[in-house]
Structure 1
């Protein structure tokens, strides 16, 4: 690979590593599909993955510390050059970073053979390396306002280390997944709260003048402060159970506030453009996750607890990342920022339906054997659909 990138003997390979979004979006989507294609039958006892982790722990790890970091990497490696005015990471350095991510996926999945400690060292290297690369660019450009994204990467890495400590010590994960999910939900709330109203406002000005989204202001700051308090309290309840009622109340209030915040972005006025609508649909899962998780804490209800987690993971994370990946890929490929019917039918509807089916499986466990495979098939359809429809754009030069 290095020889090909240096000498240009394989133009398609050089194109793939010409921008961070290309390899990480494409192979992140393929990993997300493969992960569920293996996990659902493994969970149902139909096959075995040669990992030292349990089925649920492997599923948690590969979503939170495999798929999500890949999409964050693709987003940041594309956005940071715009923030700093510096050249993007490309060619051999990008190829090596991608290889490190891929090595982590293989190591965790084959840890039964190579040992979990070795696998953790390999898989745990990606986030620190990515953080150093991003921080180097921000420091060089004196772009202090975006240092917070490096802090997010640091929190994810810390959660990953806690994950392996918990698994080795207790054989189950209680704290690490909450820290990781809370960090990712916070990131979606921050970035989504800026790009969704901005994209909506730009489109409405050109296509449907009238009520415009409210810009980020004091109300949004208050909602974010409340959400941060709730997201910090949630993991703490693992060790301090007496805080559950307070954390639950904070969660419910934060969820209501996040929903009100989203209503200020004029979501109902975007129905004519699916590429915008899907962003709003994805964000709805954020307040839904807050409310369900809050009710689970207040009522000590396991079904609601699982539903809240999957509102954030299957719903907010799955749908938002696909929506952002589709929009970013179309923009960088020189395509119009319009989602054709194929996107709606093959990507957007399946990912939303997958999230709803997964929520239903948590709330109505008697139908798990039907709803869980259904959610898996829909999830796989959405991510493979992205790979098929957007793979050609990611593998070739920008057109237009």
Structure 2
């Protein structure tokens, strides 16, 4: 496949970018704005879980899957012989995702199994939908995405079980992070199939993956909590944040160039957020200034995406509907 063909705007881009990418960016803003002061002890939350467990859960099972949904349903129109996923079918899927987020936010007032069902349902439904779409073109490697989505749903169920039984996660957090990162990395490779055209944010995201692995390995080797915490932050705020932003901007390239100055600023902010969070884990005595810096940069990056891409996406959708 030539670079020109690989970089051509996806035919179905106007279908699924709304509402998933825009909702994902807005949820990223709300999630970080809520979590940072909660984690630092400035506010209380109506959640049955501690701040760190809630944030990790929502990053892996709330934020990452909605970005995957936007990219997956966008790409389906160009990658298969079937009609793009559009119209009324997107509404219940989107509402299901919202229900899961509300359930997690108000978990102190919900039955734990109801909360779990609301959360687990979205990746499972998305996997079923992907199973219908991806194999239609004969690209069976797309089934790896289906398997990972099902695995993500199973990891979500395990996450809820461990929190209910033990009040903390034992293995579910690691499994969740692994599935979320693998999904985003595979989706990133599908969205931009030409390495020559990939923006630097993709390589920054890969750098965070490596950095997280090194720091985590050192944490295990030296039995050092600070290194392990820094590795976790590199994988979550660093890798997941930058990968999600890269996917969302590149899949939306039919509306705005991912190399435009404003988009580059978003990438820089995402990298700053990841670095500050990683440093905050490595140097806990500096958590108070570094975590808010990370949060502000993250919020600015994803709010910036909503501003730069949200209006043009809406305009593009309106134009399509009238054509």
TM-score normalised by structure 1 residue count = 0.72
Verify the 8 A CA contact 1:18 1:91 in the aligned structure 2: no
**Pairing of 1:210-225 with structure 2 (within 5 A):** none
Q: Alignment RMSD, CA only?
A: 2.1
**Residue aligning to 1:392:** 311
Tell me the equivalent position of 1:199: 194
Alpha-carbon distance in 2 for matches of 1:153, 1:188: 11
Q: Secondary structure at the match of 1:19?
A: helix
Q: Which of 69, 73, 97 pairs up with 1:101?
A: 97
Q: 1:39 aligns with which of 35, 41, 53?
A: 35
Larger Rg: 1
Aligned residues of 1:199 and 1:276 also touching (Cα < 8 A): no
- Deviation by residue 1:317-353 (Cα, 9 ceiling, x = unmatched): 101110121111122x2x4x342222223x1121111
The structural deviation recorded for 1:188 is 4.2
Q: CA deviation at 1:18?
A: 5.7
Q: 1:7-33: CA deviations, max 9, x gaps? A: xxxxxxxxxx96122211001011011
Structure 2 counterparts to residues 147-158 of structure 1, below 5 A? 147-158=143-154
In 2, Cα distance between the equivalents of 1:131 and 1:49? 31
Match of 1:286?
A: 209
Change (3 A) 1:34 1:321: same
Partner of residue 113 from structure 1, selected from 109, 112, 118:
109
Which structure 1 segments of 5+ residues have no match?
Answer: 1-16, 204-274
Is the Cα contact below 8 Å between 1:350 and 1:379 reproduced in 2?
yes
**In the aligned structure 2, how far is the partner of 1:138 from the partner of 1:308?**
34
3-state secondary structure, aligned to 1:187: helix
- In structure 2, the partner of 1:211 is none
Could you tell me how far apart the structure 2 residues matched to 1:282 and 1:354 are? Answer: 12
Structure number with the bigger relative contact order (C-alpha 8 A, sep ≥ 6) is 2
Cα shift at 1:114: 2.7
CA, structure 1 residues 184+118, in 2 after alignment: closer, same or farther (shift >3 Å)? closer
Equivalence for 2:163: 167
Partner of 1:365: 284
Alpha-carbon separation, structure 1, partners of 2:242 and 2:66: 15
Task: Tell me how far 1:47 sits from its aligned partner.
Answer: 1.7
Task: State the match for 1:378 in structure 2.
Answer: 297
Equivalent residues of 2:71, 2:187 under 8 A apart: no
Asked if the contact 1:50/1:113 (under 8 Å) is kept, the reply is yes
Query: Are 1:276 and 2:199 matched, yes or no?
Result: yes
SS of the residue aligned with 2:252? helix
Residues 361 and 371, structure 1, Cα contact 8 Å, conserved in 2: yes
Q: What is the CA–CA distance in structure 2 between the aligned matches of 1:354 and 1:109, rounded to whole Å? A: 23
Q: Gaps spanning 5+ residues in structure 2: where?
A: 1-12
